[in-house]
Amino acid sequence: MSSTVGKVIRCKAAVAWEAGKPLVIEEVEVAPPQAMEVRVKIVVTALCHTDVYFWEAKGQTPVFPRIFGHEAAGIVESVGEGVTELKPGDHVLPVFTGECKECRHCKSEESNMCDLLRINTDRGVMLNDGKSRFSINGKPIYHFVGTSTFSQYSVIHVGCLAKINPAAPMDKVCILSCGVSTGLGATLNVAKPPKGSTVAIFGLGAVGLSAAEGARIAGASRIIGVDLNPKRFDEAKKFGVTEFVNPKDHHKPVQEVLAEMTDGGVDRSIECTGSVNAMISAFECVHDGWGVAVLVGVPNKDDAFKTHPMNFLNEKTLKGTFFGNYKPRTDLPNVVEMYMRKELKLEKFITHEVRLSEINKAFDYMLKGESLRCIIRMDG
C-alpha cells in the first residue's frame, strides 16, 4: 500500500447517477486524505435499508451522482495530517456518525451525538474543504454520510473510524457499523432489561432482531415480537424471540393485548419501525411503576406523538436512542470483542453475499424483503 501514499488512486466504485436507477460500476479517482482524514481500502461492505432509502430519494434532498454505502470494514491505506490514532494497516469500521472526542457530547458519558460529526445525509463533501475526494474525469462524485463504502477506496474523517481487532473477520463484523449496533445498544445500553424480564420488540427487521439479540444476551425470560408479517416469526426465533403478536389478528389495540399477556404490561419495549402508532403502542404496553419504552425507528418529519400524561405520572418511562448510544471510536471495538467471545452471533443476520459487480442484486434482495443483510465483497 505504501506506493500509493500521497497519490490519487484509481479503483472501482458503484456509482448512483440518479435516484432509483441501477448503480453503475465505474473507475473513479480517489484523492489522498487531507488533514484529519484517512484513506481506507474497503474490503467488504453491506447494504442497509438506509442506503436504499436515500437512493430512492423519495422526499429527501437528492444528491447525485453519489457513492452510497456505510456498513463496512476495511484497512487503513494512508492518513492525513494530524491523524495519530490510526496508521496504515490498521483494521477499521467506518461509521455514519462520528466521535471527535472534543465537543460537549463526546466528553459526556451520557451522549454519543457528536457536534462535529453527527450524521448529515444532505452533505456530499468533506468537512475539511467542502469538496469531494471522488471524481470521474475531473467531475466530482458526492459522498454519503461521510463513508461511501461502495468504493474500493474511500476517504473518511478519522472521527468516523473505529479501530478494531485485526483478527476479527471483516465479512461478519462489518454489519456492526449501523443497524445491528443500533438495535443491540437500544436494548443493552438504553432499555437495560433485568435478567428474567419480559421484553416486547416492535418490528422484526434487522434492527428489531438486533434488539431481540440484546434481550437474549441480557437474559430476558420472554421476548415478544410484534410485527404485521407472520412470515418473520420463524426467523425471529433464531434471535431469542419466544412469542409473536400480529396486531392484525386482534380487535383491540396491541398494547392491551400485550398487557393481558404479561399481567399488566411488559418490563421493557423497543420500537424499531418508525410508525407513530407503533411508538404509542410500545410506550403504553409497558408496566406502570418500572416499565421503560425505547424508540429507535425514525418517524416521518410531520408525525406527532400523542399519549395521555397519566402514562408518565404512573411512572412509565419513554426514551429515545441514536445508534444504540454507542460512541463509535470508544465503544465499537468492545462490541467486536463481544462477537469474538461468541457472546454476540452475527452470522444469523447475513442472508446473502455478492461481489461488487453484482451490487444491484443486493438492492433487489432488499426491495423484495428477502434480505436482512447482504454482504458485498469489494474485490470483484
Per the rule left: phi > 0, alpha: psi between -120 and 50, beta: everything else, 288 is: beta
Question: Does residue 275 contact residue 298 with C-beta atoms inside 8 Å?
Answer: no
Catalytic residue among 39, 66, 70, 352: 70
The answer to whether residue 1 scores a pLDDT higher than 60 is no
Over residues 194-238, the pLDDT tens digits come to 999 999 999 999 999 999 999 999 999 999 999 999 999 999 999
For residue 2, what pLDDT is reported?
A: 64
pLDDT band at 68 (very low <50, low <70, confident <90, very high): very high
Q: Is 70 a catalytic residue?
A: yes
Grid look-up 399477556 returns 261
pLDDT tens-digit map of 251-289: 999 999 999 999 999 999 999 999 999 999 999 999 999
Determine the Cα–Cα distance for residues 184 and 209; give it in Å rounded to an integer. 9
pLDDT band at 87 (very low <50, low <70, confident <90, very high): very high
Residue 89 is classified by DSSP as: T
DSSP 309-363: THHHHTT-EEEE-SGGG--HHHHHHHHHHHHHTTSS--GGGEEEEEEGGGHHHHH
Catalytic one among 66, 91, 133, 178?
Answer: 178
Domains of the chain, each with CATH number or no CATH? 9-177+346-377 (3.90.180.10), 181-321 (3.40.50.720)
pTM: 0.96
Q: What would the mean pLDDT of 317-336 be, rounded to a whole number?
A: 98
Residue 27 designated active-site: no
Query: Catalytic: 285?
Result: no
pLDDT, tens digit, 9 for 90 and up, residues 3-12: 899 999 999 9
Is 182 considered catalytic here? no
Grid cell, residue 276, equals 407513530
Whether 352 is a known active-site residue: answer: no
pLDDT at 191 over 70: yes
What's residue 256's pLDDT? Answer: 98
User: Is the model's pLDDT at 56 over the cut of 70?
Assistant: yes
For the range 215-219, what are the long-range contacts, defined as Cβ-Cβ under 8 Å and sequence gap of 24 or more?
A: 215/187, 215/240, 215/268, 215/270, 216/240, 217/184, 217/187, 217/188, 217/343, 217/344, 218/187, 218/188, 218/192, 218/193, 218/194, 219/193, 219/195
**Residue 174 catalytic?**
no
Answer whether residue 290 shows pLDDT above 60.
yes
